[in-house]
Every structure is written in C-alpha cells, then in structure tokens.
C-alpha cells in the first residue's frame, strides 16, 4: 500500500500527462524530447523518460520528477506543488502539518492579518475615522470600502 501522498500522486499521474500540459513533447525512441521551458534553445535538449518517470535537460542541467517540474515551471514551493498535483490526481490530503506549510501560504496569512489591522484602524482610530469620512464624501459606499478591504495606516513605524 502507498503510504505517503507523494507516492499516491506519483502512482496516479503519468509524467507525460503532467508535462505535456505545459510543453509540447515529441517521441524520441523510448523517451520524449522538447525544447526546455527553463532556458532558450533552438535544439531540444529536454528529455522525459516515461519508464523512470523523470525529466532532465542536458542544456541547463535541471531535472527531476513531476513535483520538481511543477515547482520550477510554476515558481512554487513543494507544499504548493503537492496541493496542485494532489487535486489533479484526486488524492485527498490530510490536515496540513504546520511544518509543511509553505512560506508563500504564511505570507498570505500575514497579509490577511495586516489587511484586517488596517481595516480596523480605518473604523476605530481618530485619523482613520477622518479618512473613512473622506472616502464616504468621495462617493464610496461602506460595502465597497469593506469589499476592497480599504484601511488606514497610522503614521508610526510600530503601528502594525
């Protein structure tokens, strides 16, 4: 039995299927070749082995499996590639281990907290209320202000 989600995804997804959704592959004997999407070239040096479920570019030296390809071409971290490929493979991921949480996801959470802080400043601080009155005078509805998460940044370095 396949234990890890990574193994389950690799068992369900074929490298040719995943890579051909990004690049055009051409049969070359037992393997497939393409122009490398990671550097400019005129002669294909990007090879895919369906038997081994790996890819390698002899021009730039990059290579790996479906995870490394998606990470490289999408510019994402492993955890994000795992979620993307799991959805494609129909693999259900269990509750996310905080250690696996990607840096990008943490940044999204930090931005969300900052947006909430600035929105609260707009409603609760004295200067924020002046800014809110100004926005209303300019014709912005309260719903629009909330939908767009408009906020007020206090004029202090330690505000946030």
Tell me whether residue 125 is exposed, middle or buried, using C-beta atoms within 10 angstroms of its C-beta: 0 to 12, 13 to 18, 19 or more.
middle
DSSP 97: P
Residue with tokens 């990007």: 46
Kindly report, residue by residue over 98-139, the tens digit of the pLDDT: 656 677 778 888 999 999 999 999 988 888 899 999 999 999
pLDDT for 81 beyond 80: yes
Show the DSSP H helices in the chain as ranges: 5-12, 15-20, 66-74, 78-89, 103-124, 126-137, 142-147
- pTM for the model stands at 0.61
Tallying the residues shown for the chain, one arrives at 160
Which pLDDT tens digit goes with each residue over 16-58?
A: 999 999 999 999 999 999 999 999 999 999 999 999 999 999 9
87-101 tens-digit pLDDT: 999 998 877 656 566
Task: Please tell me the distance from the alpha carbon of residue 158 to that of residue 22, in angstroms, as a whole number.
Answer: 45
Residue 100's pLDDT is 60
Phi-psi region of 124 (alpha: psi -120 to 50; beta: other; left: phi over 0): alpha
pLDDT at residue number 101: 65
């Amino acid at each position: 039995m396949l234990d890890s989600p990574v193994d389950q995804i690799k068992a369900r997804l074929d490298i040719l299927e995943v890579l051909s959704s990004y690049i055009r592959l051409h049969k070359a004997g037992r393997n497939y070749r393409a122009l490398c999407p990671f550097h400019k070239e005129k002669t294909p040096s990007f090879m895919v082995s369906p038997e081994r479920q790996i890819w390698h570019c002899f021009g730039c030296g990059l290579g790996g499996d479906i995870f490394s390809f998606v990470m490289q071409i999408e510019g994402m971290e492993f955890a994000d590639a795992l979620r993307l490929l799991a959805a494609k493979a129909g693999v259900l991921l269990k509750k996310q281990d905080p250690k696996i949480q990607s840096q990008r996801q943490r940044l999204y959470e930090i931005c969300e907290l900052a947006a909430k802080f600035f929105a609260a400043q707009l409603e609760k601080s004295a200067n924020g209320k002046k800014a809110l009155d100004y926005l209303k005078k300019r014709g912005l509805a309260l719903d629009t202000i909330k939908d767009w998460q408009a906020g007020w940044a206090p004029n202090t370095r330690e505000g946030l």
